[in-house]
Amino acid sequence: MSEPGKTKFQVDLRRHLRETDENRDLTRLICEIADASKYIVHSIRTGDLGVAGTSNLYGEEQLALDVLSDRILQKRLSHSGVVANIVSEERPDIITVSTESAGKYSVAFDPLDGSSLVDVNLAVGTIVSIYEGGDVFQPGRNQVAAMYILYGPRSTLVYSTGNGVHEFAMNALSEYTLIRENVTMANAGGIYSPGGQRNLYSAGTESFVQDLEARGSKLRYSGGFVPDINQVLMKGKGIFMYPHLKNAPNGKLRLLFELNPMAFLIEQAGGAASTGRERILDLKPKSIDDRAPVFIGAKDDVARAEEFIAKQG
């Protein structure tokens, strides 16, 4: 892949996409999102952490950084020339960019997942899902690309176009350069990240967690979906879960903005993602705010969760 005298770790994102023969317009779109993230990084470092005075679709208080990140991404995507429709977690409706959807893409994104963690200086991230054409309500298996950007001690970008999972880090020149190619996961792991109140877990989920603990799994949970998934993916082991709860049978996380892109990435790395009863990527969203429970990570761990839930609920 690299030129003579040039290591693969000096390959930037655009070169990596070109050298793997990705579609030119898809390459442009992924690079536009990467460029937008540079402005989001700057906003996180220097921006106002106060409340913007508006609420998103789910009645959650929006922080100023949520609003700003959403505007940054929308502007870049709207002017990319390759996008038909945009749907953001911060907006109640689909935004039509072009009425001509042939040869274009639809993009669903969470502009700043975990934004409430910024004021306590914990890692947050952007999550993106990309489909061909104008329909965003497709099963996640139809994604042509998924990616996330993690804003932590360093900024990293992880993407897949269906040909493996690749990690890039932002350098001193604000360029994303390759640091890990073809990230893979083991079939089982020794860490777990459990979301939701444990006293609201079903009998099956509680038994699964007890089984993990009995086998020596260590709890690692930050409260941020992007950093917690990144930990499982980059360590190549473990499981993240935000299960069905007694008072929330569909869990908390949204299918379009969070579950589909992360499930695509984890599966591309050799892992699995399930509701506890069926594959996440086989679900067909019916609305913007569809949610589902999730068990995502090492393949054998996810299968074991399904076994406990099938027996005990």
pLDDT (tens digit per residue) in 105-153: 999 999 999 877 777 778 999 999 999 999 999 999 999 999 999 999 9
Nearest to 281 by CA among 188, 173, 113, 160: 160
Contact 283, 252 (CB under 8 A): no
Residue type, 202: S
The residues near 107 (Cβ < 8 Å, ≥ 6 apart) are 29, 77, 83, 85, 86, 87, 128, 129, 130, 131
Angle at 82 between CA 32 and CA 11, to 5 degrees: 40
Percent of all residues in the chain with a pLDDT value above 70, rounded to a whole number: 92
Read off the pLDDT band of 60 (50, 70, 90): low
147 SS3 class: strand
pLDDT digits (tens, 9 = 90+) for 259-277: 999 999 999 999 999 999 9
| Multiple choice CATH, 191-312, 3.40.50.300, 3.40.47.10, 3.40.190.80, 3.60.40.10 | 3.40.190.80
Residue 66's pLDDT is what?
86
Tell me if domain 8-180 and domain 191-312 are identical in fold.
no
Question: Rounded to whole angstroms, how far apart are CA atoms 150 and 38?
Answer: 11
Which residues, in sequence order, are CB contacts of 6 under 8 Å at separation 6+? none
pTM: 0.92
Q: What is the mean pLDDT of residues 186-209?
A: 96
pLDDT of 4 > 50? The answer is: no
Which H or E run includes 51?
A: strand 51-55
Please give the pLDDT value at position 216. 96
The residue ranges of every structural domain in the chain are: 8-180, 191-312
Q: Which CATH number fits domain 8-180: 3.40.50.620, 3.90.950.10, 3.40.50.170, 3.30.540.10?
A: 3.30.540.10
Distance (Å) of CA 149 to CA 24, 78, 204, 256: 21, 20, 33, 17
Of residues 57, 288, 301, the one with CA closest to residue 190: 301
Residue 8 has pLDDT above 60, yes or no: no
